[in-house]
Every structure is written in C-alpha cells, then in structure tokens.
Amino acid sequence: MQLAPLASGEEDKGGGGGEGAADGEVASCKGLLSATPGPTPDPTPSHNNKVTPTPSMTLLATASTGGAGSVTHTTDIHVRETWNKKVEFLLAVIGFAVDLGNVWRFPYICYQNGGGAFLIPYCLMLVFGGLPLFYMELALGQFHRSGCLTIWRRICPALKGVGYAICLIDIYMGMYYNTIIGWAVYYLFASFRSELPWTSCGNSWNTENCVPVLNVSAQHANSTSPAQEFFTRSVLEQHLSDGLDHMGPIKLSLAVCVLAVFILVYFSLWKGVRSTGKVVWFTALMPYIVLFILLGRGVTLPGAADGIRYYLTPQWHKLYNSKVWIDAASQIFFSLGPGFGTLLALSSYNKFHNNCYRDAILTSSVNCLTSFLAGFVIFSVLGYMAHVQNKHIEDVGLEGPGLVFIVYPEAIATMSGSVFWSIIFFIMLITLGLDSTFGGLEAMITALCDEYPRVLGQHREKFVAGLLVFIYICSLPTCTYGGEYLVNLLNIYGPGISILFVVFVEAVGVCWFYGVDRFSSDIQLMIGIRPGLFWRLCWNCISPVFILAIFIFSLVGYEDLKSGDYEYPPWSITVGWILTASSLVCIPAYILYFLASTPGTLKQVI
C-alpha cells in the first residue's frame, strides 16, 4: 500500500470517490483540502475476516512533524496498482510524448522558422512554458493518485468539467489518430513483396500523369509520382469520393487495418499498467532503434549533407518574427502533451515518493532530443531526393502525413534494399502512433475507472473493450474513400484549439485556486525538496500566460481548412466549431451545475 498524504494539515472534509458527481463536493476552491481518492472501506470484516481491497480503497491515517509549529498531515493509505518497474513508467511517458509529430512536424517547423536559430525560441519555450506544465501534471497525478476527473475534488471541485472536457477530446483523438496508424499498417503489409508497389507506374491505380521519380526528363507540370498515386488512389482511393458531401462507402481493407490497431490497443490496455508496462518495452524503444538505423543510412546518401545543412543553417533574422516564437510555443506544447490527462494518469500509478522532478526533466529532454534527431533523419533523405531530382529542397519536402506517406516512401523506393527500409520505417511509425494512442485512451480509462470504481473500475477489461468498440465504430467514417478529409477536420477541431483552453483553465485551477504554495508543499512531501522560486514563478505567472498566448494566437491566426486543392464546405466548418464547443462547454456547464447543487451562499461556495 502507498502512503498518499493529503494536501493540507486538516482532516478530510470532502467526499471520497464514489459514483456521484457532486456528492461530498461542498468545499470551496480556495479553502479546499485534499480528499481521499476513493470510498472508505466498510470496517466490518467479511465472513473470512478479510477485507478485499478495491483499486480505490483508502484508509485514513495521520502523521505530524515534530518541533515548534508542528503541522499535522492527514494521509490516506491508498491501495492502487503501481508500475512494476520505474523504467516502465519512463518509457510510457516518453512513448506518449514522442509521437508522429516529432517525425513529420518538428523538422519542417524548425527549417521553416530559421533552422538552427529556431532552437533558441524552442528551448526557451521548453524551459519557461512546456516543462513547468509537464512537471506540474506529473506531480499532481503522483500526489493525488487519481485521473483527470476525481483529482478535481481535491483541487477545485467546481472545475471538474475540465476532466469531462479532456475525456471528450480523447474520444475525438481516438476517432482519427488510430486511422492514421491504420494507414501505416496498410503500408507495412504492402511492403512485403519483391518490389514496393509505389516504385513504378505500371499499376492498376496509376494514371497517365504518373512519372517515376528518377525519370526527371519526363516530368511536367501535371505529373505525379508513383508514391503520391499509391497513397491517394490505392490506399485512400480519394478519387472515388467527392469530399465530405459524398464520402463514399467504407473501404474494407482500411477498416480491417484500423481494427487491427484497436485490437493491439486493447491487449495493451486491458490489464492497466501490468499490460502497458510490458508493451512499452517494444513500442517505446523500437522507434529509437529504427531512427538510428535510418540515420546511418541517410547520411551515406548523395545530397544528404546539403539537406542537413538546410536543416541547421541559422537564419537569425527570423527571430524578429513573432510567428517563429508562437510556432515554437505550439510545437513544445503539443509535443509534450500536457492537458490530455495522460501525464496525470500515468504518474498516478507511481510510488508516492518517486522523484517526479527528475522524471520530468529526463522525459521532456528525451522528447526534445528525439525531435532534433528526427530532423537529421528526415532532412538527410530530403537532401538526397533533391539531389536525384535536381530540385531545391523546398520543392521536395512536405509536412504532415504527406511527408511520411509520400515523400519518405518515395525516397525509400529508390534505395537498394528498399523492401527492408520500408518495413522498418513503417514499423517505426506504427509504434510511435501506438504509444501515443495508449496514453490518450489510458487517460480516459483511468479517469472514468477512478470516478466510478464499482461500476467501471472493478470491470476494467469489459469497460475497455466496450469503450474501444464504441470509438472504433465512430472512427469508421474515416475509413471511407473521403476519410482523409474527415481526419483533417477532426485533427483541427477535435483537440486543436479546445485543448489549449482546457490546459489554461487547469493551470489557473491548480496555480491560483489550489495555490502554488500548497502545491509546492505537496511536492516537498513526495520528494523531500520544495520547488524553488523559478518553478513557483512559472506556475504562478509564466505558464498560464504561455498557454493563453498560444490560444489567442491560434484564434487570431485561424485560416479556413483546406486539404490540397479541396475546399471544405461551409457546413463542415460549422460542424468543426461545434466539435470544439462540445468539449469547451463542459467547463462552464459543470461550474453552473456545481453552484446550483452545492449548499451555501455563492460567496461560501466560491
């Protein structure tokens, strides 16, 4: 059993964990004391004189510090599953943070915003914005030992809607992110043949505009590469769709690939950290093995040095552009992933005295270094492609899915041993994606199991199965011929803007209502060291402003959604904003519910 001290020196006044929403949530935000994470067990022994612990069972105990001005701390002895090994937790956090965006977004953003000069705003945003939020969530989850719903009983009950918003955002992410992994699964199976299917133009899906990438003399204004046509006309079959107005039927092969992803996810999550801790040994480490193998191959290609030079050459004048700093802040935020509930969930299974400060520094540093490493892997190959096609690198590279599903496979097809390189590349993409989807879904699963321990927590395996079946059914429209258009829509309007506001409210709730001093005392109880002035200043001022600035600039810089030449119909943009609002409305709606259902005057409640 783990000792989980409450955040204050008084006895618990709130309710325990139970199935209700507001039962026992009568403490105000400013005067709230940490409540116990779960229901207090019935002291009456069973017929065999044993009490069977549940995942949320707690026992109250007290401890006091000696000396003058001693403070009594109420603690709860919380029976909660923990990671078998510390390294499993670290791998899970690294696996969540290091995702597909590290490969397909950071290198392009770095190059576009000044090359090596971009590392200056990137590191500054990491130190003053991203890392403090990352550290905050790891510490919160470890101290309170609960997910993104139950934890608000101990921080600020009125803001529990933040947890519901996170759960809804995680569902939206599951609806499209697993489809992208499914594309990689499709490519992986397509790679097991003597010649990669996107090497030549003699396939049934190719058009008369298809020109092999090495046939430079035959290329013209309307020419397309075999890799591009394989992705759009064989994998997605977009030409059979008219867009979101007529998306077409479900493509069975894609639906099967996505189903395979969900099955892998289920058997990784069904037993909680017992199963996840074993899987991350492969899914978190495999990408690094492949990245170093691809780097070794990439730097030996002709033109690789030119690509790396473009990647790193500083363009100092771009630092005067505010967009560069906003891009750095956005990249850090979405790369580290605070606000999705994952860091809270994963750290809640740590031992109470685990050094979460050291974990935050280590895992965030690994994440950023991985992004930097991926840049060498990508730009060495882009330099090679520019060399063989006699083009400028800017005319070769793309960001987003096009980079990993068109440009890089196109380069692989021109290499000797292309089948091998293709197989390991798409295994890397699959493992990168799986780790992130593990984290997002675990956040929701932990939150709901903690909130409803008797209904869901004791039947985790069935609950996880039902949840994944529901999300898979919801994701089937992304497996239609026009599914990519829906994937883009969900990506922008599902988590894109709403998660920024959610994290801002979370930071305000923790730092201003719960209080930085109280939070710092919690950390001192866990690791024996009180956070210094730098961390307290970041939590009080810099981090909330950091998030608010990204949120405001995201709204100001909003542009109508496009996918290549396809313009989204107005009704789809309206649907997108409804998706965004659906998660955001959880926060004010729960505040109103809390105020209406909590006894006392408005001043007492607030």
Which one is predicted more confidently, 455 or 44? 455
Question: Is the predicted pLDDT of residue 71 greater than 70, yes or no?
Answer: no
Phi, psi of 307 (to 5 degrees): -65, -45
pLDDT for 29 equals: 59
Check whether 97 is labelled as a binding-site residue.
yes
CATH assignment of 86-605, given 3.30.70.20, 3.40.50.1220, 3.90.1150.10, 1.20.1740.10? 1.20.1740.10
Q: What is the pLDDT of residue 32?
A: 44
State mean pLDDT over 423-440. 94
d(CA 523, CA 528): 7
Alpha-carbon distance 400 to 520, whole Å? 39
Task: Report the pLDDT value the prediction gives residue 223, as an integer from 0 to 100.
Answer: 85
277 appears as a binding residue in the annotation: no
**Is 522 marked as binding a ligand?**
no
Find, among 514, 517, 512, the residue nearest to 144 by Cα: 514
> Model confidence at 55, in pLDDT bands (50, 70, 90)?
very low
Residue 538 has pLDDT above 60, yes or no: yes
| Positive or negative torsion for Cα 264, 267, 273, 277 | negative
Mean pLDDT over 331-350 rounds to: 93
Tell me whether residue 436 is annotated as binding. yes
Across-strand partners of 77? Answer: 3, 59
Average pLDDT over the chain reads: 85
Which of residues 6 and 384 earns the better pLDDT score?
A: 384
Structure tokens at 144: 């309170």
Report percent pLDDT > 90 for the chain: 60
The whole-angstrom separation of Cα 510 and Cα 560 is: 34
The burial class, CB within 10 Å (0-12 / 13-18 / 19+), for 350 is: buried
pLDDT at 517: 95
- The reported pLDDT for the residue numbered 60 is 37
User: Above 50 in pLDDT, residue 5?
Assistant: no
Residues 409 and 228: beta-carbon distance below 8 Å: no
Torsional class of 400: left (φ above 0), alpha (ψ -120 to 50), beta (otherwise):
left
In a 3-state reduction of DSSP, which class is residue 277?
A: helix
Residue 350 annotated in ligand binding:
no
pLDDT cut 70: percent of the chain above it: 86
What's the rounded mean pLDDT across residues 2-19?
38
Lowest-pLDDT choice from 76-85, 414-423, 452-461, 502-511: 76-85
For residue 295, pLDDT over 90 is answered with yes
367 marked as part of a ligand binding site:
yes
Q: Are strands 2-5 and 562-563 parallel, antiparallel or unpaired?
A: unpaired
User: Is 335 labeled as ligand-binding?
Assistant: yes
**Strand-pair partners of 76:** 4, 60
The answer on pLDDT for 28 being more than 80 is no
* pLDDT tens track for 472-518: 999 999 999 999 999 999 998 988 889 999 999 999 999 999 999 99
pLDDT of residue 603: 66
CB–CB of 379/311 below 8 Å?
yes
* 31 annotated as a binding-site residue: no
Per-residue pLDDT of 552-587, as tens digits, reads: 888 887 777 777 778 899 999 999 999 999 999 999
**Per-residue CA distances from 7 to 69, 338, 403, 540 (Å):** 17, 22, 47, 18
Between residues 196 and 17, the one the model is more confident about = 196
Instruction: Give the pLDDT band (50/70/90) at residue 213.
Output: confident
Q: Is 217 a known ligand-binding residue? A: no
